[in-house]
Amino acid sequence: MKKTLSITLASIVAISGLQAAEDLSSMFSEGKASGQIREFSIVRSVTDTRPSQDEYTRKANAIGGFLKFETAELNGLSLGSAFYTTNGFLLQSPRDDSNPEADPSLLGPNNEDYSILGEAYLQYKRGNTTFKGGRQKLTTPLADADDYRMLPNLFEAYMLSNTDIPDTTLVVGHITRFAQGTFGRVYSGANLPNQILAATAGASAVDPKNQVGSFENMGSYAVGTRTDGVSVASATYTGVKGLKVQLWDYYAYDILNAVYGQVDYSMQLGAVKPFVAGQFIKEDNVGDSLLKNLGGDGKIDSLFWGVKAGMTIENFTAYIAYTETGANDASDTANGTEYANAIITPWGGIPAFTQGMVTRHMFLAGTKASKAALSYSWKGFGPDLKTIVYYLNHKMADFNGYTLDDASEAGFDVIYNTGFVDNLQLRLRGNFTSDFYVASTGAVDWDEYRFIVNYNF
């Protein structure tokens, strides 16, 4: 880190020349601080009908957030940094991972508090080109912040974007390291069922419990072996009214290559705004095929596709979606390659139209998933309030490596941007799963509620 900061400062001086002192002073004095204070409480009531299991409730509370500072631009150059922290309170005793009633998804390893310098980057803009290098937050289809609990996923990356072509954004970059957020700790890489679930749900296949709070090599985090990281390229086109087309390629050295595509189209027909969308993911093993660290030969040849259709009428939106992933056969299970037709996404990023609040089975091999959702904005009645309800069903196939039967989930989301305190948001979420995990001896279901307070400044 010291070496990176030295290079950064040297670059500033080189660009600024002899008048660096005066310009550097205004660069920092005109900078802006921002941040978020977040309180998160979660309660999950679990029913486990397997032998020697029972009903239990797990819960956790945490407070934290981030504090960020961005300098003003100097000849197109700016710097940014952000400090993230999460701290538990009123926790179950003992609070560590040995206690099944202590929810792991809000804190660090062994349910400890942690803090991290999550962002430390240099950004340079010239014309329609922007370069951003260093620790940063990414929001891309298959490498994403996944900010679903206390702290998000963060990346060490070097990204270049350009908009010289009309209505087109081009991005190329390379990601070297990954700092998992707290959400990934809901998974475990202890055995095959948990490995394949974690790897297809945005987390490490080998250890999503303890690789939290530090930046790890992309390969070491995902499959337990160091690699040269992940190279990214994309093109996004918005030149036709109501149309957006995007194509992304992620080359994860010695693991896999993933191609993601999505097309969205909407139009206005009087008071009605219908919309449709389609998506696909294609993955193939590359180089040393390091998925073999999970068993088998490391080969993957998977395809996922989905469609979505809906409409908005004033403050009301409704949609339905369907997705499908290619299926395994008996030989895949026999060879230990349950990932052969699955979609592997260990660095966050779950763009599937059929994702649930907790159920992410749509990327397991052979899954046919459907989802229906309704949302309504109550602004017309005064309060800045939005309510969402949804239902999804994942029809599971044989040889998926995780569960033996179909899974379903219903849920709601209530988001209230208060008027009595500026920038204060209150949020209540709930999900109710049926057969999230099914073994030959029983199944696991739960009801879960989350209360979240976000104050932005």
Q: Note whether residue 25 is domain-resident.
A: no
Q: 3-class SS at 199?
A: helix
Q: Is residue 392 part of a domain?
A: yes
Q: Tell me, what's the pLDDT at 87?
A: 98
Mean pLDDT of 44-65: 95
Residue 188 is predicted with a pLDDT of 87
DSSP codes of every residue in 271-334: TEEEEEEEEEEEEEE-TT-GGGGGSTT---EEEEEEEEEEEEETTEEEEEEEEEEPPP-HHHHH
Whether 104 is in a domain gets the answer yes
Give pLDDT tens digits for 313-337.
Answer: 999 999 999 999 999 999 988 788 9
Dump pLDDT digits (tens) for 404-415: 999 999 999 999
Distances (CA, A) of 232 to 40, 157, 172, 286, 396: 33, 10, 6, 15, 31
Residues whose CB is less than 8 angstroms from the CB of residue 55 and which lie 6 or more positions away in sequence, other chains included: 45, 46, 47, 48
Let me know if residue 195 belongs to a domain: yes
204 falls within a domain: yes
Residue 20 maps to a domain? no
What pLDDT band is residue 157 in, cutting at 50, 70 and 90?
A: very high
pLDDT tier for residue 22 given thresholds of 50, 70 and 90: low
Residue 361 lies in a domain: yes
CATH number at residue 300: 2.40.160.10
pLDDT band of residue 15 (cuts 50, 70, 90) is very low
The verdict on residue 6 lying in a domain is no
The structural domain count of the chain equals 1
241: nearest Cα among 277, 261, 276, 266: 266
Cα 299 to the chain's mean position, in Å? 25
Structural domain for 226, as ranges = 31-456
